[in-house]
A = this chain, B = another copy of it.
């Protein structure tokens, strides 16, 4: 992971320089990473200093939505700033090399740069919130009552276009130095994945209500290799 070059200079932020084989500006890959990642990290600048907060996300076509309480200063600040950076990272495994230097991670990450627009339109806000709910639990929004006006007013939603974005993917085993191959040390990949446990009912839940299928058989949509 550390040896993949992230974008840096604004004019070339989506051009991956050092290891171009790990940079894929491919909309399908980008969408897949964003759709699988349960959370993302939203970065913005406040008084000249960077702030990075974890948040849920949702996607509709080429717009990424994140949300927060109107009382959350992070969301308000991010919505007022010129630029944000949203990064979502999926960890697929540990690359166990024969040296520390070549040890790495298999991962997929998406970075999106741009201006985060505060969503004012009530209809768009509803669509965005439903997209975020369904992003976490596919189909959940259809089971829920409509959002109330009070709830909508109490929620800040930011929209970020996927215009300036990049994806990076590392897969496969370690790439060791020739001289290290005879070392008496194990090498390979340890795959990692996120799994769901059994759904735990709320103590106030009516006992006649069954666990919905999207929770009983919970899986993230994945493109992991």
Would A1 and B87 be within 8 Å (CB), given that A73-B8, A82-B49, A218-B190 are in contact?
no
Scoring A6, A132, A181 by chain B CB atoms within 10 A of each residue's CB, the highest score goes to: A6
**Copies of this chain, count:** 2
CB-CB under 8 A for A145 and B47, given A3-B69, A202-B174: no
**A8:B46 contact, CB within 8 angstroms:** yes
Q: How many residues of A contact B (CB 8 A)?
A: 114
CB-CB under 8 A from A82, the residues of chain B are: 48-49
- Residues of chain B within 8 A of A182, CB atoms compared: 206
Of B1, B185, B195, the residue contacting A56 (CB under 8 A) is B1
CA distance A195 to B50 in the complex (A): 32
Residues of A20-53 contacting chain B, CB below 8 A: 38-39, 41-53
Residues of A within 8 A of B (CB): 1-10, 13, 17-18, 38-39, 41-56, 66-69, 71-75, 77, 82-87, 89, 91, 93-94, 96, 98-101, 103, 105, 107, 109, 111, 113, 129-130, 132-133, 136-137, 140-141, 143-145, 147-148, 151, 154-155, 173-174, 176, 180-206, 209-212, 215, 218
